Amino acid sequence: MIEFRMPSLGADMEDGTLTAWRVNVGDFVKSGDIIAEIDTQKGLIEIEFFEEGIVDQLLLKVGEKVKVGTAIATFKNESTLEKSVKKAEPTRSEITKASEENPIQEKKDARIRISPLAKIIAHENKINLEEIKGTGEGGIITKEDVEKLIKTGDTEKESVKKASTESIRMAVAAAMSKSNREIPQYYLTTTIDMDKAIHWLSETNAKRAIQDRILTVVLFIKAVALALKKVPELNAIWENGLILKNEIHIGFVVSLRSGGLMIPAVHDADKKNLSEIMSSLNDLIERARMHKLKSSELTDSTISITAIGDGGAEQVFGIIYPPQVAIIGFGSITEKPFAENGMLDVRSTVNVTLTGDHRATDGHTGSRFLNELKNLLQKPENL
Amino acid sequence: MNREEIRVVILALLKSIAPETSPQNLKPHASIRKTLDIDSFDFLQFIIALDKNFGIQTPEADYDQLQDMEGVLTYIERSLIGKHT
């Protein structure tokens, strides 16, 4: 039996309110499936399940608010199922009988009296037939019953408002206060010549249709991911000690127009090519601004990047998002006098900062990382 | 499509990207990005929308011409003329 608890979607989250179950009792759920929508300070988040099993009980009702860590559902996992099958070595007819009794939603639906049209509408709208009270002859569910529920459901959904600017501000405040209170942070900075990277990007983008063009920040994300492979100590979290992570999931700070920010993860950034990272960003930025992110995207970043963008400040010193141990800040790209090999030139440059958790690493490690990053950005064609 | 009609479409596109702003108050030579606080991601979305709405193709090398309202209007007008000749 697997007990699924209200997940923590960040250092700042204390509780969550269930706004919808996306599964029914009896459904088979595989790793990565979305099982629920939870209303948090950061808006509605889709909650993923990372094991396999059959939904046994849904312990929380829509609208209920519980603390992080409270059990909200139980699942029968494979080992439980195997045990129950092996126990009595059942005959084929018993297996058939057992499978007939298995509380799979489809079987349940079959016992519910519903008009064919109502069934199609309910199926298209992913409505649990058990939730509908039939008002037709003999209690049969009619098209009108389903439509009435959809209408009510929509009204409820509308009333679940987007996370307010104030609640997002409070979430950012809580996470940043925790960071400053608990993490001894050190800061390093360096200036990187971006001439080659920008030139290469212009040439690449000239060959691409507009919707396939790549932004400079994509080069930053990929270069950080590859530099982390050389300096893995920064790709980690601190939870009663340093825990290095194999996967490189880069949290990208997205500013919300209404104020506040979200840090969704670009998963496996080291394995993605530049086009794939750009697609991920397009998707994540859009969903972050609509407050429609998945739980894993908000919780499993192994490092964060903040980029100021064109025309903004030249330098940004980020604050680490716990439990991560580093954040990389990219200032705006600006033309600067640049000396190299005894010659002075004007180059496009970017100022990069690293904020590191001094419990986890030392400045020497951080400095190695920035040097790797600098070298990688001089060979953009290899990114 | 005359200049005023083009302007109406541009204002609608900017409003959809930066809903809390008032693009109609943009001065002809004021920086669109700075005035409406549009980042590089949203600016790319704006240009994609321009291309789609006006049926043009804007190369990256021309982005510099799209920094203020006057520039965008002139650029779209020219592109539309180029398209029909």
pLDDT tens per residue across span A320-372: 999 999 999 999 999 999 999 999 999 999 999 999 999 999 999 999 999 99
Tell me what pLDDT residue A7 has. Answer: 86
Residue A323 neighbours by CB distance under 10 Å: 21
Band of pLDDT at residue B85, cut at 50, 70 and 90: low
Query: CA A355, CA A239: separation in Å to the nearest integer?
Result: 18
Q: What is the 3-state secondary structure (H, E, C) of chain B?
A: CCHHHHHHHHHHHHHHHCCCCCHHHCCCCCEHHHHHCCCHHHHHHHHHHHHHHHCCCCCHHHHHHHCEHHHHHHHHHHHHHHHHC
Chain B hits for A162, CB-CB cut-off 8 Å, are none
Q: Name the residue of chain B whose CA is nearest to A201's CA.
A: B60
Neighbours of A180 (CB within 10 A): 12
Highest-confidence range of A27-31, A169-173, B73-77, by mean pLDDT? B73-77
Q: Which of A175-179, A291-295, B5-9 has the lowest average pLDDT? A: A291-295
- pLDDT-derived band at A108, boundaries 50, 70, 90: very low
Which among A199, A223, A171, A237 is positioned nearest to A348, based on CA atoms?
A199
CA distance A122 to A14: 35
> Where residue A96 falls among pLDDT bands split at 50, 70, 90?
very low
Share of chain A above pLDDT 90, in %: 49
Alpha-carbon span B82 to B80, nearest angstrom:
5
Would you state the pLDDT for residue A158? 41
Quick check: A210 and B58 CB within 8 A? yes
Which residue of chain B is at minimal alpha-carbon distance from A311?
B34
pLDDT at A95: 38
- Cβ distance of B33 and A206 shorter than 8 Å: no
Chain B residues in contact with A210 by the CB 8 A cut-off are 44, 47-48, 51, 57-58
Q: Which fold has domain A165-382?
A: Chloramphenicol Acetyltransferase (3.30.559)
All domains of chain B in start order, with CATH: 3-84 (1.10.1200.10)
> Where does the pLDDT of residue A140 fall: very low under 50, low under 70, confident under 90, or very high at 90 and above?
confident
Give A211 to chain B, closest Cα distance, Å: 7
CA distance A369 to A328: 10
> A291's torsion region: left (phi>0), alpha (psi -120 to 50) or beta?
left
**pLDDT (tens digit, 9 = 90+) per residue, B11-41?**
999 999 998 899 999 999 999 999 999 998 9
Average pLDDT on A133-141 reads 77
CB contact under 8 A, A258 and B20: yes
In this predicted structure, the answer to whether residue A86 has a pLDDT above a threshold of 50 is no
Strand A250-252 to strand A185-193: parallel, antiparallel, or no bridges (unpaired)?
unpaired
Q: Which residues of B touch A202 (CB under 8 A)?
A: 60-61
Cα–Cα distance measured from residue A34 to residue A46, given in angstroms and rounded to the nearest whole number: 6
Q: Which of A206, A210, A255 sits opposite B47 (nearest CB)?
A: A210
Alpha-carbon gap, residue A214 to A279, rounded angstroms: 9
> Is residue A275 a contact partner of residue A214, using CB atoms and an 8 Å limit?
yes
- Arithmetic mean of pLDDT, A52-76: 89
> A43 with A171: CB under 8 angstroms?
no
Residue A102 has pLDDT above 70, yes or no: no
**Topology given in CATH for the domain delimited by A1-110:** OB fold (Dihydrolipoamide Acetyltransferase, E2P) (2.40.50)
Residue A190 has what pLDDT?
97
Can you give the pLDDT at residue A184?
A: 97
- A233-258 average pLDDT score: 94
Q: Can you say how many angstroms the Cα of residue B85 is from the centroid of all Cα atoms in its chain? A: 22
Tell me how close the Cα of B3 comes to any Cα of chain A, in angstroms.
Answer: 24
The pLDDT of residue A78 is 65
Please state, in angstroms and rounded to a whole number, the distance separating the CA atoms of residues A267 and A237.
16
Element at A9 (helix H, strand E): none
More confident residue, A123 or B63: B63
- B18 chain-A contacts, CB cut-off 8 A: 257
Sequence spans of domains, chain A: 1-110, 112-161, 165-382
Q: How far apart, in whole angstroms, are the C-alpha atoms of residue A345 and residue A352?
A: 20
| Distance to chain A for B85, nearest Cα, Å | 23
CB contact under 8 A, A215 and B40: yes
Query: What digits encode the pLDDT tens for the residues B42-72?
Result: 999 999 999 999 999 999 999 999 999 999 9
Query: Chain B window 43-72: which residues touch A at a Cβ cutoff of 8 Å?
Result: 44, 47-48, 51, 57-61
Task: Report the residue of B40, B52, B53, B68 to disrupt the A interface, i.e. the one with the largest count of A CBs within 10 Å.
Answer: B40
Mean pLDDT of A59-85: 78
Instruction: Write the residue in B18, B31, B44 that is nearest to A257 by C-beta.
Output: B18
B59 chain-A contacts, CB cut-off 8 A: 206
Size of interface A-B (CB pairs under 8 A): 36
Tell me the CB-side half-sphere exposure of residue A298, using CA atoms within 13 A.
Answer: 29
- How sure is the predictor about A89, in pLDDT bands with cuts at 50, 70 and 90? very low
Using CB atoms, pick whichever of A202, A258, A285 lies closest to residue B60.
Answer: A202
**Among B18, B40, B59, whose Cβ lies nearest the Cβ of A206?**
B59
State how far the Cα of A246 lies from the Cα of A225, in Å rounded to an integer: 12
Query: Tokens in use for A328?
Result: 């990389």
Grade residue A98 by pLDDT with cuts at 50, 70 and 90.
very low
Is the CB of A215 less than 8 angstroms away from the CB of B61? no
- Angle among Cα B34, B39, B40 to the nearest 5 degrees reads 120
Q: What are phi and psi of A168, to 5 degrees?
A: -65, -40
Task: Check residue A126 and give its pLDDT.
Answer: 63
> What pLDDT is recorded for position A162?
55
Mean pLDDT of A158-179: 75
Q: Using the 8-state DSSP alphabet, how is residue A381 labeled?
A: G
Rg (CA), chain B: 12
Pick the CATH number of A112-161 from 3.40.50.2300, 3.90.600.10, 4.10.320.10, 2.60.120.560: 4.10.320.10
Nearest CA-CA partner of A327 in A167, A170, A173, A176: A176
